[in-house]
Amino acid sequence: MTEAEEKRAYRFKGRVAMVTGAASGIGRATALGFAVEGADLAICDINEGGLRALSAEITALGRRCHLGRVDVSKKAEAFAFVEAAAAALGPIDILVNNAGTGQFQPFAMMEDDEYDRVMDINVRSIFNFSRAVLPSMMDRDYGRIVNITSIMSVIAGQGQSVYNTSKGAAKMMTQGMAVDLSGYNINVNAVGPGMVHTGLTRNLLGDAASAAEFEEKIPKRRIGVPDDIAAGVLFLCSDAASYVHGETLFIDGGMLCAR
């Protein structure tokens, strides 16, 4: 291993990273990425089996891991998890607000409870967890927050009006947080994935014909994988991105520029 490779391999050594929605997909890849590069992890999800499997991989890498089943839309559960994680691992240095859900229903058919569900998971969770970690980050004058939004924050999709709304809100919350925290060494950014192989896209990409149709719309001519997104998250949390603040990094294989 070269000196440069070794430095990168341990760029998060001594840091504590928290990832919501970590049991699968982008969250799982992100958590493992941090562990490979030296961080201890606090991971939460509603999928306990997935969390336990991920925790085993993290500890096998020699890192500490604190896990919890958390409904990210509930303030009390978010704050309790942050408190427990900090007691177990130390103050949270990095927060990745990854937990999210999809929505595929025409606007005229949407019900109140479905609207609330999507907005609570995709937006309120960012509000909850960010407020929970910020007092410690502000006291220590250090922190990195990355919110996972989507290319659907800037383009509309059929049957996804509330999903579009939630991801647009996450993007603007990122910018508002960045402005409010400008007096601190706390960077707040977002990552906007394009089409990625995850549980949320399984129905869309369930057969070869459907996948090929999407690939034709992507200049890179492939569907993204969770590691593609995780790489961008880790960059934004690294010292290399110390002057990146209030931005949304779209990782989409060129989908936006081809529209």
Active-site hit among 10, 115, 163, 243: 163
| Model confidence band, residue 3 (pLDDT cutoffs 50, 70, 90) | low
Classify 68 as helix, strand or coil. Answer: strand
- Report if residue 88 sits inside a domain: yes
Please tell me the distance from the alpha carbon of residue 48 to that of residue 50, in angstroms, as a whole number.
5
Q: What is the CA radius of gyration of the chain?
A: 18
- Report if residue 153 sits inside a domain: yes
Q: Is 142 a catalytic residue?
A: no
Closest by Cα among 145, 146, 257, 157 to 200: 157
Residue 120 token pair:
């609570």
pLDDT at 1 over 60: no
pTM over 0.85: yes
**pLDDT score of 206:** 65
- Report if residue 207 sits inside a domain: no
| Poorest-pLDDT segment among 89-98, 155-164, 235-244 | 155-164
Q: Tens digits of per-residue pLDDT, 101-146?
A: 988 889 999 999 999 999 999 999 999 999 999 999 999 999 999 9
- Report if residue 219 sits inside a domain: no
* 239 φψ region: left (φ > 0), alpha (ψ -120 to 50), beta (else): alpha
Number of domains in the chain: 1
* Surface-to-core class of residue 238, CB atoms within 10 Å of its CB (0-12 exposed, 13-18 middle, 19+ buried): middle
- Report if residue 19 sits inside a domain: yes
**pLDDT score of 6:** 61
Domain extent at residue 15:
3-197+227-250
- Report if residue 122 sits inside a domain: yes
Orientation of helix 112-119 relative to helix 161-180, angle to 10°? 40
- Report if residue 40 sits inside a domain: yes
- Report if residue 211 sits inside a domain: no
- Cα atoms in the 13 Å half-sphere on the side-chain side of 170: 39
Please tell me the distance from the alpha carbon of residue 124 to that of residue 34, in angstroms, as a whole number.
25
25: domain CATH number is 3.40.50.720
